[in-house]
A and B are shown apart, each in its own frame.
Chain A
Amino acid sequence: MKRFLFLVPALLFAGLLVAFGIGLTMDPTILPSMLIGKPVPAFNLAPVRPGDQGLARADLGGEPVLLNYYASWCVACRAEHPMLMRLRSEGVPIHGVDWKDAPADGDKWLQDRGDPYIRVGNDQSGRTGIDMGVSGVPETFVIDKQGRVRYRHVGAITQDDWANKIAPLMQRLKAES
């Protein structure tokens, strides 16, 4: 036993290397959500589409849905938009929040590029986003049948994100009661 004591510092160092290796490959800009497992905070947002009914907390729940934050001024949202259109055409339910944006601009975005949302609300003050811990757009939350936040995705959803993280989670949530 004592003969191998000299290995202890080397093992400690190896442990440090592993810890640093993991730490350095993580993206420090992605913060964990405080809301995982908790119900979506109450909100009631004005419509983006003229004459529409907007989006309220009561619209969430029942079936697992995606809640996507976007803005007309957001460049990464342009990259994400075709993905949302594809998911919608495949029958994935998506609600939208137009964050820190004028409703008219948010509406023009949907008219110009296509509208992937079931319901969409305007959060011009950004307060609903802040209640959800949004740090920028695009951000997407996976909401379960009970209206609880189960996952937060920061940045545009890529095919990889969808296939490996979000789609399997949606499948699992569908099986929940």
Chain B
Amino acid sequence: MKRLLLMAAAFAALAGPAAAVNPDEQLRDPRLEARAHELSRTLRCVVCQNQSIDDSDAALAHDLRVILRERIAAGDTDRQAVDYIVARYGSFVELKPPVQGDTLILWFGPLALTLLGGAGIALHLRRRARLAAEPFTADEEAELAHLLNSDAPKTGTLKSGGPA
């Protein structure tokens, strides 16, 4: 069993991340290639949408990898190279969506909901504390005494939310 586990671990270590980048696509300059590789992991393949173009085996992903490398080799900055593809396929291809008009809900929606919910809870707690601190009126005292001393159905002037 121990040997089997060891073997499994060895194979797992050997496997490494499978790269769809074919040798013929790679740039000669390792620094440029590293940049292109990093960028291609952040771009969505429009054919198989939940893979990056780095992972995807689709023909279009291959073309986009090549184009990305052409832009990098031509001296584009990372942003310019990505923008070149975004100009054609839209910001949807960025796996990490940029903060812009149509992604505001995506970025800040959870925060807004948390604040809204927090405000609701705070209001509720404050109201409960206030009601608990408020003394009963004479009428309420009378009804309470009546309820406690009889089996009669309650008539209902007791404030809800007050101490039962």
Residues of A within 8 A of B (CB): 28-29, 31-34, 100, 125-127, 130-133, 135-136
Contacts and interface: CB of A to CB of B under 8 A. Distances in A.
A126 B60 contact: yes
Contacts of B90: 31-34, 133
Interface string B18-46: 00000000000000000000000000001
Given A28-B49, A29-B49, A31-B92, A135 B87 contact: no
Given A29-B49, A136-B47, A34 B87 contact: yes
A27 to B, nearest CB: 11
Given A32-B90, A34-B88, A34-B90, A135 B46 contact: yes
7 contacts: A31-B89, A33-B90, A34-B88, A34-B90, A130-B88, A135-B47, A136-B60
A104 B92 CA distance: 35
B76 interface: no
A170 B72 CA distance: 40
Interface in B102-133: none
A33 B49 CA distance: 16
Contacts, number: 35
A31 B92 CA distance: 8
Contacts of A126: 59-60, 63
Shortest Cβ-Cβ A-B pairs, 9 listed = A135-B46, A133-B88, A34-B90, A133-B89, A126-B63, A31-B92, A31-B90, A130-B88, A135-B47
A135 B60 contact: yes
Nearest to A33: B90
A34 B92 CA distance: 11
A55 B138 CA distance: 93
A100 B63 CA distance: 10
B46 A31 contact: yes
Interface string B84-97: 00111110100000
A28 B126 CA distance: 45
B89 A135 contact: yes
Contacts of B89: 31, 34, 133, 135
